């Protein structure tokens, strides 16, 4: 979907013009479009209610009304959904392009032109997403071009930015949705390499298993040893235009398929474990956005890419492996593999990058779905500042985050018997998501600001919100991380 921004002038020739309408207001149709007199009769402008007609004359062939509900209640989420409704309806009508009119009254809603321009454009692009990689004859979208017409430079900038961020979300979804045999650790690393060609400010290094062995990454290698696919450790770097205000590192779980290992998962829904690389996909998605959005930080992205399978060489329950920081871990459940590959990625981050802030994203535990469901990611921030920044960023971009507890007693519960740590806590301890975070805490310096984000619930199978949601990947994380960088203090 190509989205452009233009001034709200005289209506140009177009197969479809979209007009947004709030409740109790007569639809402001462009003067040039002649429609049947009764077209807008009794149209109530309920949220996402649509009505279309052919114009009898004028530059627009058809007119589409999209309802926004009561003006006072219009928020960013409602605008994203309206943008998606406009794009999807245009696609359904089969038009090749459409003009979306944003008159000055609509531009004043929900915080003004910047909010409106970005939300409509994001909603339209994300709402138009379709996954076609697996199909032998992918269906081409009919409506490939949307022009948002509104007033002012801020509106136009916001439209462009919304489109760029939405594209990053779609890029993330494309990585997630590919099958396990397509999106292998090597393929994920190749996608990261390719991102560096999008901007001179981005570079990518990929470490292979030989390098990992030299660095002593026994935990990442221990997970991968049951797979014929070699593990990869991706390290992307973004250098800002001007002086850097600090160093931030995003770390992702790029587990391209999680069968559970010898502690094998049940077959039902095991196919969904191709999404177990969603944290890594989100980190790549953020770098996709950094090719077009400037931020004043040096940003690093580290993704541990691996597969967790079953094989004669696979790690067995009870095996002990040593991590890059020297910590030994007894692997009492080979299905708790995400924390193992992240452990070495976090050690690498602390030793080689030394960031001010680390944020890791991982589909780490089924337990977070029990606690927070599919619409909220669980966060474990080490500072109140980082907690507030992530909760606020999540709210802005529609990817909500909520803090979960991580105390010293939880960390103590991860001590091992035959190794320093165990990769699972005792059943009596409970709090499965906290156990995962507690394990990870042993691989981050106490004085580094850090947040673990568990996206196991939000990465796929989320509620259908028009612009995102449904059975496939949600692309969660990419827009969240950029919003975080833009609002970080």
Query: Among all residues, which ones are annotated catalytic?
Result: 265, 339
- How is residue 231 annotated by DSSP? P
Give the nearer residue to Mn ion in terms of CB position, either 167 or 258: 258
Q: Give the H/E segment covering residue 249.
A: strand 247-258
Residue 456 near which of Zn ion, ligand BES, Mn ion, none (CB within 5-8 Å, type-dependent): ligand BES
> At 384, phi and psi to the nearest 5?
-65, -35
Using the minimum distance from each CB to Mn ion, give the nearer residue, 149 or 253: 253
Cα 281 from Cα 283, distance rounded (Å): 5
CB of 337 to Zn ion, least distance (A): 6
CB of 435 to Mn ion, least distance (A): 13
- What is the distance between the alpha carbons of residues 114 and 160, in angstroms, rounded to a whole number? 11
**Among 23, 167, 174, 337, interactor with ligand BES by CB under 6 A:** 337
The Cα–Cα gap between 231 and 238 comes to 23
**What, of Mn ion, ligand BES, Zn ion, none, does residue 22 touch, CB below 5 to 8 Å by kind?**
none
Q: What is the total residue count of the chain?
A: 489
Q: How far is the CB of 452 from Mn ion (least distance, A)?
A: 16
* Residue among 176 and 365 whose Cβ is closer to ligand BES: 365
Cβ proximity to ligand BES: between 148 and 303 the closer is 303
Q: Which partner in ligand BES, Zn ion, Mn ion, none is near 366 (CB below 5 to 8 A by kind)? A: ligand BES
> Where in 252-271 is the site for Zn ion (CB under 5 A)?
255, 258
Nearest to 212 by CA among 224, 220, 204: 220
Check binding of 399 to ligand BES (CB under 6 A): no
The footprint of ligand BES on residues 447-476 (CB under 6 A) is 456
Contacts of 2 (CB under 8 A, 6+ apart): 144, 145, 146
- With 0-12 / 13-18 / 19 or more C-beta atoms within 10 angstroms meaning exposed / middle / buried, residue 245 is middle
Task: Find the shortest distance in angstroms from Cβ 265 to Mn ion.
Answer: 7
Task: Report the alpha-carbon distance of residue 111 to residue 429 in Å, rounded.
Answer: 45
Which residues does 197 contact at the CB level (< 8 Å), separation at least 6?
Answer: none
Question: What's the gap between Cα 84 and its chain centre?
Answer: 17
Residue among 223 and 481 whose Cβ is closer to Mn ion: 223
**Interface map 243-272 toward Mn ion (x if CB under 5 A):** ---------------x--------------
* Single residue of 91, 167, 174, 335 touching Mn ion by CB under 5 A: 335
Which of 379/456 has CB closer to Zn ion?
456
Q: Are 255 and 338 in contact (CB under 8 A)?
A: yes
Q: Give Cα separations from 142 to 49, 89, 466 (angstroms).
A: 22, 11, 18
Q: How far apart are the first and last CA of the chain?
A: 34
454 binds Zn ion (CB under 5 A): no
d(CA 459, CA 472): 9
What residues between 274 and 333 interact with ligand BES by CB under 6 A? 276, 333
Stretch 338-377: interaction string toward ligand BES, x if CB under 6 A = x------------------------xxxxx----------
Q: Min. distance of Cβ 304 from Zn ion in angstroms?
A: 11
Calpha distance 339→331 (Å, rounded): 11
Task: Pick one of 261, 338, 350, 425: the residue that binds Zn ion (CB under 5 A).
Answer: 338
Residues at the site binding Mn ion, with contacts judged by CB under 5 A: 258, 335, 337
Residues at the site binding Zn ion, with contacts judged by CB under 5 A: 255, 258, 276, 338
Residues at the site binding ligand BES, with contacts judged by CB under 6 A: 258, 276, 333, 335-338, 363-367, 424, 432, 456
């Amino acid at each position: 979907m190509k989205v452009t921004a233009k001034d709200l002038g005289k209506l140009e020739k177009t197969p479809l013009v979209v007009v947004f309408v709030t409740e109790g207001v007569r639809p402001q149709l462009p003067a040039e479009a002649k429609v049947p007199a009764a077209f807008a009769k009794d149209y109530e402008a309920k949220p996402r209610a649509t009505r279309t007609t052919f114009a009898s004359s004028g530059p627009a062939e058809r007119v589409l009304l999209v309802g926004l509900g009561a003006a006072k209640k219009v928020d960013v989420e409602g605008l994203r959904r309206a943008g998606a409704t406009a794009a999807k309806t245009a696609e359904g009508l089969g038009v090749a392009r459409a003009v979306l009119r944003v008159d000055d009254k609509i531009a004043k809603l929900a915080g003004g032109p910047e909010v409106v321009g970005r939300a409509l454009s994001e909603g339209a692009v994300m709402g138009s997403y379709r996954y076609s990689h697996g199909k032998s004859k992918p269906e081409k979208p009919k409506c490939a071009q949307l022009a948002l017409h509104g007033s002012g430079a801020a509106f136009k900038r916001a439209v462009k930015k919304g489109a760029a961020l939405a594209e990053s979300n779609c890029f993330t979804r494309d990585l997630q949705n590919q099958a396990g045999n397509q999106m292998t650790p090597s393929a994920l690393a190749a996608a990261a390499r390719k991102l560096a060609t999008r901007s001179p400010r981005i570079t990518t290094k990929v470490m292979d298993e030989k390098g990992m062995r030299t660095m002593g990454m026994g935990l990442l290698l221990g997970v991968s040893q049951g797979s014929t696919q070699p593990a990869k450790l991706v390290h992307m770097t973004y250098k800002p235009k001007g002086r850097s205000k600090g160093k931030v590192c995003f770390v992702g779980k790029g587990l391209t398929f999680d069968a559970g290992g010898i502690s094998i998962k049940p077959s039902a829904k095991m196919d969904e474990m191709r999404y177990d690389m969603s944290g890594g996909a989100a980190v790549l998605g953020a770098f996709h956005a950094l090719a077009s959005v400037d931020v004043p930080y040096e940003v690093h992205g580290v993704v541990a890419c691996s597969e967790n399978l079953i094989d004669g060489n696979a790690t067995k329950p009870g095996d002990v492996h040593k991590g890059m920081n020297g910590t030994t871990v007894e692997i009492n459940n080979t299905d708790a593999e995400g924390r193992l590959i992240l452990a070495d990625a976090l050690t690498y981050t602390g030793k080689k990058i030394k960031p001010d802030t680390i944020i890791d994203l991982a589909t780490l535990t089924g337990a977070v779905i029990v606690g927070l469901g599919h619409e909220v990611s669980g966060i474990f921030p080490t500072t109140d500042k980082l907690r507030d920044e992530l909760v606020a960023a999540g709210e802005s971009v529609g990817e909500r985050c909520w803090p979960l507890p991580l105390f010293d007693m939880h960390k103590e519960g991860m001590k091992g018997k035959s190794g320093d740590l165990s990769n699972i806590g005792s059943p009596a301890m409970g709090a499965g998501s906290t156990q995962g975070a507690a394990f990870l805490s042993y691989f981050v310096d106490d004085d580094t600001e850090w947040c673990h984000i568990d996206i196991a619930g939000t990465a796929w199978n989320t509620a259908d919100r028009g612009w995102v949601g449904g059975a496939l990947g949600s692309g969660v994380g990419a827009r969240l991380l950029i919003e975080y960088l833009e609002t970080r203090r």
